[in-house]
């Protein structure tokens, strides 16, 4: 093969809470992600260390209005269509469908909104790829059951998913259960609606919540295939391989251990059982979750059809506690790699690491992969028409698409598609900022919520359009 497969799915990815806004319209309920403020308290809220159970007057909560996509989705999807998108990855806000999470009946207005949105995608020949939970948990379930700490969450998630599968069985084919499921270990309020009390055994609770999500994922994979055997069900991992800081075997071992924290999740999703290394470690540390006998049967019988992941950067690990030069990177902090440049937010830029990660995943599982996030968060300086000459973004994406092409054409990785993160500027998950922009489409809105919300094309808009039109042949 010399290029990407003919039916390769090019597109972009967003998440409901980062773009829709309209947080309390048409019956939508309050979600954990609505309560993440901008500023210095954000991280502690996302990690569950600081309780934020209601809005207060001291903080600004950017998800409340997002980029107002709830009202502007037709314009946004038209622009995606103009770029030639084959796929649009988006997520459903759980609280639009079940505002509290444990109701008997779903909210029709929420279902209708997504039905209209999917129809709009199909008008442009765009296939929706739907994340069922992108860091999204109804606050009523957090307050009443403690979020994914509770096994009851499996039932609520099952009901929610079943409603989606039945209603959208002819409109959606590709589904992801939980966005970046491994994030539960690093940002449990964001990943699972879990916050902590002073005496909580944090690690134990995180693995219990992770077990519940993994079982829920297998259960809804089963249900999905019963409702429509053509559905393609995927998991989603925050990807990026870990390099040893040196060839000291101790560093190599440390890198392997850190990778296992992530690959544990895909190992269970794909192979259908807890890997031996995880069983041993969790038992040794007294962290093995409480389980029911049917859990292991479900995991075994209903693995995912494909593996999706986000890739922004590789990571580095060292066994030496003295080496503490941390750099930022997608909530998971990593050591600074001296060979790499970094973005304005300290995220290290490593296109070859992308090829390495694609190969690791394919070597490990031999299942189709789907890259569902990749991109550069950067400060843009628009002219008076909102035009941005974003050569830095083009350079980042070009080098990553080239690395992905090498993985497909030279290494034989089976890859279904590629969606860039944030094809339109949207609220940052990590910081809550608007100024950390990823889009091909500029949105006039600032970190304080000021601006007209007007959309305009950046230079990268036409560049990506050409990439798609040539199926990745022309990258300059």
Cβ proximity of 441 and 458 under 8 Å: yes
> What is the token pair recorded at 330?
């997608």
Q: What is the DSSP string of 417-444?
A: EEEEE-SB----TTT--SSSB--SEEE-
Cβ proximity of 254 and 317 under 8 Å: yes
CB nearer ligand BG6, residue 76 or residue 180: 180
Considering the rule CB under 6 A, would residue 237 count as an interface residue with ligand BG6?
Answer: no
Q: What residues does 420 pair with on adjacent strands?
A: 12
Which listed residue (120, 127, 258, 373) is catalytic?
373
CB nearer ligand BG6, residue 106 or residue 377: 377
Least distance to ligand BG6, CB of residue 330, Å: 5
Considering the rule CB under 6 A, would residue 180 count as an interface residue with ligand BG6?
Answer: yes
> What is the token pair recorded at 392?
């830095």
CB nearer ligand BG6, residue 333 or residue 410: 333
Least distance to ligand BG6, CB of residue 312, Å: 7
Least distance to ligand BG6, CB of residue 275, Å: 24
Please work out the total of residues on this chain that contact ligand BG6, with binding judged by CB under 6 A: 15
Among the listed residues 161, 182, 208, 330, the single contact to ligand BG6 using CB under 6 A: 330
List binders of ligand BG6 among 252-311 (CB under 6 A): 310
Measured CA to CA, the distance from residue 31 to residue 42 in angstroms comes to 15
Considering the rule CB under 6 A, would residue 357 count as an interface residue with ligand BG6?
Answer: no
Considering the rule CB under 6 A, would residue 15 count as an interface residue with ligand BG6?
Answer: yes
Among the listed residues 195, 421, 440, 464, the single contact to ligand BG6 using CB under 6 A: 421
> What is the token pair recorded at 224?
């999905």
Considering the rule CB under 6 A, would residue 417 count as an interface residue with ligand BG6?
Answer: no
Q: What angle do CA 103, 106, 109 make, to 5 degrees?
A: 135
Q: How far lies 434's CA from each of 150, 179, 239, 384, in Å?
A: 34, 21, 24, 18
From 152-160, 219-227, 360-368, 421-429, span contacting ligand BG6 (CB under 6 A): 421-429
> What is the token pair recorded at 237?
């991992």
CB nearer ligand BG6, residue 303 or residue 329: 329
Which listed residue (180, 213, 258, 433) is catalytic?
180
Considering the rule CB under 6 A, would residue 37 count as an interface residue with ligand BG6?
Answer: no
Q: What is the DSSP string of 333-367?
A: -EE--TT-EE-TTS-EE-HHHHHHHHHHHHHHH-S
Burial bucket for residue 275 (CB in 10 Å: 0-12, 13-18, 19+): middle
Considering the rule CB under 6 A, would residue 179 count as an interface residue with ligand BG6?
Answer: yes
> What is the token pair recorded at 223?
């249900």
From 46-54, 253-261, 284-292, 430-438, span contacting ligand BG6 (CB under 6 A): 430-438
Among the listed residues 436, 437, 445, 455, the single contact to ligand BG6 using CB under 6 A: 436
**Residue whose entry in the numeric block shows the structure tokens 């297998």:** 218
φ/ψ of 37, rounded to 5, equals -85, 170
From 59-67, 282-290, 425-433, 443-451, span contacting ligand BG6 (CB under 6 A): 425-433
> What is the token pair recorded at 292?
């029911």
Q: Which residues contact 25 (CB under 8 A, 6 or more apart)?
A: 70
Among the listed residues 429, 434, 441, 443, the single contact to ligand BG6 using CB under 6 A: 429
* 373 has catalytic annotation: yes
**Residue whose entry in the numeric block shows the structure tokens 């055994």:** 201
Q: What angle do CA 185, 216, 225 make, to 5 degrees?
A: 135
Considering the rule CB under 6 A, would residue 133 count as an interface residue with ligand BG6?
Answer: no
Q: Which residues are catalytic?
A: 180, 373
Contact set with ligand BG6 (CB under 6 A): 15, 18, 179-180, 238, 310, 330, 373, 377, 421, 428-431, 436
């Amino acid at each position: 093969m010399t290029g990407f497969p003919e039916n390769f799915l090019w597109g972009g990815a967003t998440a409901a809470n980062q773009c829709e806004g309209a947080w309390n319209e048409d019956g939508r309920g309050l979600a954990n992600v609505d309560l993440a403020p901008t500023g210095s308290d954000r991280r502690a809220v996302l990690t569950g260390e600081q309780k934020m159970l209601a809005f207060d007057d001291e903080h600004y909560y950017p998800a409340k209005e997002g980029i107002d996509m709830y009202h502007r989705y037709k314009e946004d999807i038209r622009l995606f269509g103009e770029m030639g998108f084959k796929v649009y990855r988006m997520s459903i806000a759980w609280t639009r469908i079940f505002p509290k999470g444990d109701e008997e009946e779903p909210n029709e207005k929420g279902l209708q909104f997504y039905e209209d949105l999917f129809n709009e995608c199909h008008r442009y020949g765009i296939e929706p790829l739907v994340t069922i939970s992108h860091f999204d948990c109804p606050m009523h379930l957090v307050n009443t059951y403690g979020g994914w700490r509770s096994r009851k969450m499996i039932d609520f998630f099952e009901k929610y998913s079943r409603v989606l599968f039945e209603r959208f069985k002819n409109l959606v084919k590709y589904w992801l259960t939980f966005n970046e499921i491994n994030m539960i270990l690093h940002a449990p309020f964001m990943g699972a609606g879990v916050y902590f009390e002073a005496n909580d055994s944090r690690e134990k609770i995180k693995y219990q919540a992770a077990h519940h999500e993994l079982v829920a994922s297998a259960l809804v994979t089963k249900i999905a295939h019963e409702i429509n055997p053509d559905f393609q069900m995927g998991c989603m991992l925050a990807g990026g391989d870990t390099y040893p800081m040196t060839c000291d075997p101790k560093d190599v071992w440390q890198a392997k251990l850190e990778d296992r924290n992530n690959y544990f999740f895909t190992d269970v999703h794909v192979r259908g059982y807890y890997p031996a290394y995880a069983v041993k470690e969790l038992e040794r540390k007294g962290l093995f979750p409480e389980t029911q006998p049917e859990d292991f049967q479900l995991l075994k019988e209903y693995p995912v059809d494909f593996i999706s992941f986000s890739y922004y950067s590789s990571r580095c690990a060292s066994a030496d506690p003295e080496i503490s030069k941390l750099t930022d990177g997608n909530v998971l902090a990593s050591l600074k790699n001296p060979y790499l440049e970094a973005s304005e937010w300290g995220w290290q830029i490593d296109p070859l690491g992308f090829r390495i990660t694609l190969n690791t995943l394919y070597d490990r599982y031999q299942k189709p992969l789907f890259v569902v996030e990749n991109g550069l968060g950067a400060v843009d300086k628009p002219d008076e028409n909102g035009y941005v000459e974003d050569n830095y973004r083009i350079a980042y994406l070009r080098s990553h698409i080239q690395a992905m092409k090498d993985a497909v054409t030279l290494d034989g990785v089976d890859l279904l598609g590629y969606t860039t993160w944030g094809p339109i500027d949207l609220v940052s998950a990590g910081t809550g900022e608007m100024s950390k922009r990823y889009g091909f489409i500029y949105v006039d809105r600032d970190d304080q919520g000021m601006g007209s919300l007007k959309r305009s094309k950046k230079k990268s808009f036409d560049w990506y359009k050409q990439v798609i039109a040539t199926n990745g042949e022309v990258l300059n």
